[in-house]
A and B are shown apart, each in its own frame.
Chain A
């Protein structure tokens, strides 16, 4: 099940707007830190899940269910926080727990960034944010396959072993994917009337 408690940008705007209750320099980091989002799963997690739903036949017709290799043992959980540094600025930070299956893993990730708030007119706000993610790659392990009765075992991409791609060539398609939102720049304009 996936759920999203709060939309990151929207919540940050709200949090910064509420900053007037704090005022002055931030002296207590804990008091100035807000949980702005929790999410189960990720786009990388979805890639692995999709692979887990596939099957193919081995040479003798035995059906190989990829769920045994790409089923999740743990699920990637993402936590996002904002620590307010002034009435109109804050630090965005967070982390992901990572995910693991028998033939893949999503590394734990750390995110950090900034958010700022402008008020061009009394009834409007403009927020901007930038975040970058460290680590969090989706990586895949190879399988070992034997094709011929008199052949030797060789490393292959587990997902592509039964396609027409040359076994050694399949290794080029092993996952090594950065999180798609590893650098994120956001703007949000809100006009109230």
Chain B
């Protein structure tokens, strides 16, 4: 039997609630009406370290390498009439979900080549020359009880899963906002089978959200909405967390955690031009820090909080 799924974005409803729309529900399709022309807000420098970013990224930029030579492809909603209010540093704007995640990743890696593909296209995701990073801030839901290979994947998801399993691109996958372990059923009995299909893939990273960018002095906690790693060691080993400052940007959800990892992967790719996607993925995972997380536990936080500074540093030097 082939099981069909429905696509769910991983932006929290607080995105809307924070701006007083009063709407509720977990799907982007249920939220805010379209307003104003896109991109009508003031222009701003994509090279400025914003309050929502980890300060480490500014250190990483100082030498002028910001993701050049790397392509980030964002598969997301670029066509719907659903807009989110948010502020990544240029004042409050309304953008589609995919436009926010694309902007966010491009602000972390300003020199990366950005590509977009609407997640309803069903078309194979094409890779560019050089290092490729895919950002997936959505899930593919169906009732629990199936295996991932029973799902009737479109060419789009089939290509993504293939790239992850064959180590052809770094995949930054938002963990989800159901407060369950990656791969587990949510309260409605639904499973994100895209998560399930990516478990164990060499270049897939599940990205959870912390409530802040942690420091040893001011530790971060897992955001209340974020999915967590769970007891599956295969997930724990591929699970990272980053701070999502919804209190600053108005954008909550693991949707806005994955683009940070996509950007970090691009920055790493611009330094390690000969590295494979698997090496970049592992560098991000092995350099994660746990001393910035309150009550760190592998079953919750996986490898810990991503650290771009440490990921850029050598393992051994003499």
- Let me know if A163 is at the binding interface, CB within 8 A: yes
State in angstroms the CA–CA spacing of A161 and B311 once bound together: 11
A164 engages B317 (CB within 8 Å): no
Set of chain B residues within 8 Å of A146, measured between Cβ atoms:
314-317
Set of chain A residues within 8 Å of B287, measured between Cβ atoms:
59-60
User: Smallest Cβ distance from A144 to chain B, in angstroms?
Assistant: 6
State in angstroms the CA–CA spacing of A153 and B90 once bound together: 43
- Let me know if B165 is at the binding interface, CB within 8 A: no
A161 engages B313 (CB within 8 Å): yes
Interface of A is mostly: loop
A residues 142-193 in Cβ contact with B at 8 Å: 143-151, 153, 156, 158, 160-167
A124-154 interface code vs B (CB 8 A; 1 in, 0 out): 0000000000000000000111111111010
Q: A156-B317, A164-B63, A164-B271 are known contacts. Are A150 and B279 too (CB-CB below 8 A)? A: yes
Which of B66, B267, B279, B312 is within 8 Å of A162, CB to CB? Answer: B312
Set of chain B residues within 8 Å of A60, measured between Cβ atoms:
287, 310, 315
A147 engages B315 (CB within 8 Å): yes
What total of A-B pairs shows CB separation below 8 Å?
91
Q: Interface centre among B61, B62, B312, by most A CB within 10 Å?
A: B312
Q: A162-B309, A164-B270, A166-B273 are known contacts. Are A58 and B282 too (CB-CB below 8 A)? A: no
Set of chain A residues within 8 Å of B63, measured between Cβ atoms:
160, 163-165
User: Smallest Cβ distance from B33 to chain A, in angstroms?
Assistant: 41
Smallest Cβ-Cβ distance to B60: which chain A residue: A164
Set of chain A residues within 8 Å of B315, measured between Cβ atoms:
58-60, 145-149, 151
State in angstroms the CA–CA spacing of A61 and B215 once bound together: 13
B272 engages A166 (CB within 8 Å): yes
State in angstroms the CA–CA spacing of A167 and B317 once bound together: 12
- Let me know if A56 is at the binding interface, CB within 8 A: yes
Q: Interface centre among B60, B272, B313, by most A CB within 10 Å?
A: B313
- Let me know if A47 is at the binding interface, CB within 8 A: no
Set of chain B residues within 8 Å of A61, measured between Cβ atoms:
289, 291, 310
- Let me know if A31 is at the binding interface, CB within 8 A: no
A164 engages B267 (CB within 8 Å): yes
Q: A58-B317, A59-B315, A162-B313 are known contacts. Are A147 and B272 too (CB-CB below 8 A)? A: yes
- Let me know if A6 is at the binding interface, CB within 8 A: no
Set of chain A residues within 8 Å of B241, measured between Cβ atoms:
none
Set of chain B residues within 8 Å of A58, measured between Cβ atoms:
310, 313-317
- Let me know if A57 is at the binding interface, CB within 8 A: yes
State in angstroms the CA–CA spacing of A149 and B311 once bound together: 12
B residues 243-288 in Cβ contact with A at 8 Å: 267, 270-273, 275, 279, 282-283, 286-287
B317 engages A64 (CB within 8 Å): yes
Set of chain B residues within 8 Å of A144, measured between Cβ atoms:
317-318
A59 engages B65 (CB within 8 Å): no
State in angstroms the CA–CA spacing of A164 and B62 once bound together: 8
Smallest Cβ-Cβ distance to B270: which chain A residue: A164
Set of chain A residues within 8 Å of B271, measured between Cβ atoms:
164-167
Set of chain A residues within 8 Å of B317, measured between Cβ atoms:
58, 64, 143-146, 156, 158, 161
Set of chain B residues within 8 Å of A166, measured between Cβ atoms:
65, 270-273
State in angstroms the CA–CA spacing of A162 and B56 once bound together: 12
Smallest Cβ-Cβ distance to A144: which chain B residue: B318
The 7 closest A-B pairs by CB, nearest first: A162-B313, A145-B314, A164-B65, A145-B317, A146-B316, A59-B315, A148-B279
21 CB-based A-B contacts, threshold 8 Å: A57-B310, A58-B314, A58-B316, A59-B286, A61-B291, A144-B318, A145-B316, A146-B316, A147-B314, A148-B272, A148-B283, A149-B286, A151-B275, A151-B315, A156-B314, A161-B314, A162-B312, A163-B63, A164-B61, A165-B63, A165-B65
A59-B315, A149-B315, A160-B63 known; 11 new pairs, CB 8 Å cut-off, are: A57-B313, A64-B317, A143-B318, A145-B315, A146-B314, A146-B317, A147-B315, A151-B275, A151-B279, A158-B317, A161-B314
Residues of B at under 8 Å CB distance from A?
60-63, 65-66, 267, 270-273, 275, 279, 282-283, 286-287, 289, 291, 309-318
